[in-house]
Structure 1
């Protein structure tokens, strides 16, 4: 019996086509074997909004060097610091495209508006002026400068990510308050009351590794403990930005994130060298809830940056939770990309 021509494909044919399309559709990768997690202070920030996007699209040599180094490291997940934020993540997308051109695809992207460059309307550094980069919630000439981002080979569970960046410094359990000579909060009680703890951001971002596996990323970029006076505002804030993770895991802000998790990013302080208050970092490195793989480069150096005056310093960290098996680690560098070095850790997620 002939099937009448109704202008529509028969149901069986439609079902067959759907099955074929489902079979051909790309599927999220599942973690098989070692999982490489990386962190990199890129120094990609530019002096004005939109300039990083322009540089990435025009083949800027530094952007290309950053992309090559990331492709060379071939991470499954990487946290980036000092990369300008824009609402549609166009600059981040352009960088991801450059990385793909160098042979390593990271199709999933995550970025939130950072505190850097976010206006406060207050004198936050006590110099009697308003509207300077240091009067923002975090240092920046414009909103989004010096931001953070995540690139991943695995799907990022964006809707479940938690952003702690709006938490006020004064609301922390035991803040290390900067004070004026008269004992009042520096630079003023009103300014300290409005000051967020995060100079850039504190995020908890889950990544779907497939087959029921999930990895929680805890990432941040702390302020340098420099560029202030006797009140040591930046040094104390840097200390508390790292201490935040201990507060979080101790349940100070509600139920803590469950392992497996990886804490990674820019602490901006070395446990032994250079300036800064080390107590929070030292406690974190010794916390039994984490492992410190202590990555080194081919020369055996653990430094993740080198400055002309300060020399070699370990400022970037990747700390897997103690339930994760570390199978390797390392540090890669390219002076054409950044003064900072890319650090990575290999994990067995099973």
Structure 2
């Protein structure tokens, strides 16, 4: 039975120092550090699904090899205007050797866009994504196993939906050093190894939880992209960036395989930050076991594809994080989201949630309407100073950066939170 709310490889990761000094841009207190390196640091952390995915391998590198790609210029300006110290980029195609990330930094972020100050990120983390990696199985149970990238139906049979390996990947950029040796990735963690996993059920059979065969479950990965624990050294204090991008809870059937996977991808972080037995089952790609060390500071980042009240996710999926005793929900808002819900109408008129919290501008006719999908969720020991969604009003000159469909940047909005980190 579906629990949907309503119908509405080997690690190839690097942290790279490019010998640059972070630039202070237009956005308030971000990167404010004490001059002697002691005392509290004001840290701005952001997540941004910038939709820089492309339809074929090599296209993103080609687009970023120039300085003139319109979408890249626009999303770069959004980042420059917000000026986060750490930012997770969702839907940024994975390319080995940091090639795409380096081009984005060199040709877009480090050049002024639209009059905004350039921004430099000396450190980056990039690793493989499960998107577009062939599973060798018929995961959507349509009678065909597609193993050729770019072929029709290939994405549905991949470990994570993608037309080719790396499509819809992730990257993290930082002004502060990344402790590369201490990074943990969970790309290959198997869904079946999560205790009480919500494995999907074939509604046409009597057996429980049998949408996937035993052979499929023995290789099926929980992460549709990956889960990363990236320790960042913020003036002597380690802050763990917990990055992910769970699958959308749609594009399936009565078995709700994507909705259930979305729920458990979100649950992974809830378990990971819980000391003791709740996280004991977890293992990383290097063979390490267990969750986050008790007392560690962290920020969970990413497009979680789940709204607390509206949309298609499993009931209370995102509440696993929002109601967690170790996590703070800063509740970032924007006036632009309220205006958009009013102007666009449609599904937005029937939503239970406050549109001020929306972070994504989705189809309103017939559904799902605008939703809160993107989150910056710090541990409770990090004091929240401010939090916003970058969604300008139509009367704001910066509205040109978000606009209306077809969007000049992305259907998601950058979300940032200012934190006080004590050394």
Give the TM-score normalised by the residue count of structure 2: 0.74
| Higher alpha-carbon deviation: 271-280 or 315-324 | 271-280
In structure 2, the partner of 1:197 is 222
In structure 2, the partner of 1:116 is 131
Structure 1 runs, 4 residues or longer, greater than 3 Å off = 25-33
In structure 1, the partner of 2:61 is 53
| 1:27 positional shift | 7.6
Distance in 2 separating the partners of 1:346 and 1:232:
36
| Higher alpha-carbon deviation: 299-308 or 201-210 | 299-308
The reply on whether 1:81 has 2:90 as its aligned counterpart is yes
In structure 2, the partner of 1:290 is 327
Alignment length, in residue pairs? 325
Match of 2:179 among 133, 157, 161: 157
Query: Aligned to 1:234, what secondary structure does the other structure show?
Result: helix
Check whether the contact 2:303–2:373 (CA below 8 A) recurs between aligned residues: yes
Distance in 1 separating the partners of 2:317 and 2:267:
5
Q: How far does the alpha carbon of each residue in 1:260-301 deviate from its partner, in whole angstroms, 9 at most, with x for none?
A: 111111110101111111323113101120110010013462
- After superposition, residues 332-343 of structure 1 pair within 5 angstroms as 332-333=390-391, 334-335=402-403, 336-343=408-415
- After superposition, residues 39-188 of structure 1 pair within 5 angstroms as 39-58=47-66, 59-97=68-106, 98-102=108-112, 103-131=118-146, 132-180=154-202, 181-182=204-205, 183=207, 185-188=210-213
Distance in 2 separating the partners of 1:164 and 1:187:
21
In structure 1, the partner of 2:239 is 215
Q: How far does the alpha carbon of each residue in 1:212-242 deviate from its partner, in whole angstroms, 9 at most, with x for none?
A: 2111111100000001111100000000000
Check whether the contact 2:266–2:320 (CA below 8 A) recurs between aligned residues: no
Distance in 2 separating the partners of 1:269 and 1:255:
23
Check whether the contact 2:32–2:42 (CA below 8 A) recurs between aligned residues: no
Check whether the contact 1:96–1:107 (CA below 8 A) recurs between aligned residues: no
In structure 2, the partner of 1:15 is none
Distance in 2 separating the partners of 1:124 and 1:255:
29
| Higher alpha-carbon deviation: 158-167 or 297-306 | 297-306
Check whether the contact 1:110–1:151 (CA below 8 A) recurs between aligned residues: yes
| 1:255 positional shift | 4.4
Q: How far does the alpha carbon of each residue in 1:105-145 deviate from its partner, in whole angstroms, 9 at most, with x for none?
A: 11211011000011111111111112211111100111111
The reply on whether 1:224 has 2:248 as its aligned counterpart is yes
Distance in 2 separating the partners of 1:189 and 1:179:
13
- After superposition, residues 176-325 of structure 1 pair within 5 angstroms as 176-180=198-202, 181-182=204-205, 183=207, 185-210=210-235, 212-250=236-274, 251-252=279-280, 253=282, 254-257=290-293, 258-299=295-336, 301-309=356-364, 310-325=368-383
Distance in 2 separating the partners of 1:228 and 1:27:
46
The reply on whether 1:328 has 2:386 as its aligned counterpart is yes
Distance in 2 separating the partners of 1:167 and 1:79:
21
Distance in 2 separating the partners of 1:167 and 1:62:
34
Unaligned runs of 5+ in 1: 1-24
Unaligned runs of 5+ in 2: 1-18, 23-30, 35-40, 113-117, 147-153, 283-289, 339-355, 392-401
Q: CA RMSD in A?
A: 1.7
Distance in 2 separating the partners of 1:245 and 1:318:
13
Gap change, CA 1:115 and 1:26, over 3 Å in 2: closer
Check whether the contact 1:303–1:313 (CA below 8 A) recurs between aligned residues: yes
Q: How far does the alpha carbon of each residue in 1:52-91 deviate from its partner, in whole angstroms, 9 at most, with x for none?
A: 1111122210111111111111000000100000111111
